[in-house]
Amino acid sequence: MNKKDSGLKSERILDVAEELFALHGYDGVTMRQISTGAQVDVALANYHFGKKLDLFYAVFHRRAELLGNTRREVLRNSLEVASGQPQTLEQIIEAFLLPLKFAQESGDPGWKNYMALLAYVMTSPVWSKTLMKNNFDKHVSEFIEALKIIFPTAKEEDLHWCYHYVSGALALTLAQTGRIDRLSGGKCHSSDFDAAYQRMIPFMAAGFRAVCEK
């Protein structure tokens, strides 16, 4: 097998694993299911990635660094563009909600699978401790510091609770459960990240102001 074929098969294994983990969680997927979906032998999947746990980590890390760094860059760029003017609360929230926009505008359908996987990891007491801590939690302090500038008299615990609430809203939206489709009688679609993105910014901004502008 040449390097090109090997690389293509590795990416195919990652893509299939990403989709299955997003849909069924870690415990609901076997290496055989992944290999079958990727049309490779189980031995080849093991050769490239090792055990299922190693593959799960590889799937999560593949897009985590790009997403985390891009989010951080958007937050910093909005501060620079302000040119002496205060960065707005809406700009900070836009940077936080970048995953929604990123997934919608990317031509790669795998991003929506990754967002569902990210939601799974965010809401898991087990996976959040390792995967979120080492990939995304390290950037949270920058968002909190930006929020402190907007709300200089706010209690720090209020800022963290508000961040916690918006993280929960983001996780539920990223999960694309289809529940809003049913509840709205088809008027809303959980896969419509554009619609969610447009509404979440003013919704979250109002929540921050209600709690932190006391």
pTM: 0.84
Q: Decide if 197 contacts 97 (C-beta within 8 A).
A: yes
**Per-residue pLDDT tens for 75-129?**
877 776 656 677 899 999 988 888 777 777 777 888 989 999 999 999 999 999 9
Residue with tokens 């997403």: 67
- Separation of alpha carbons 116 and 177, rounded Å: 9
Averages of pLDDT over each 10 residues, the chain, 214 residues: 68 96 96 95 93 96 87 77 75 85 78 92 93 87 92 96 94 93 97 91 96 90
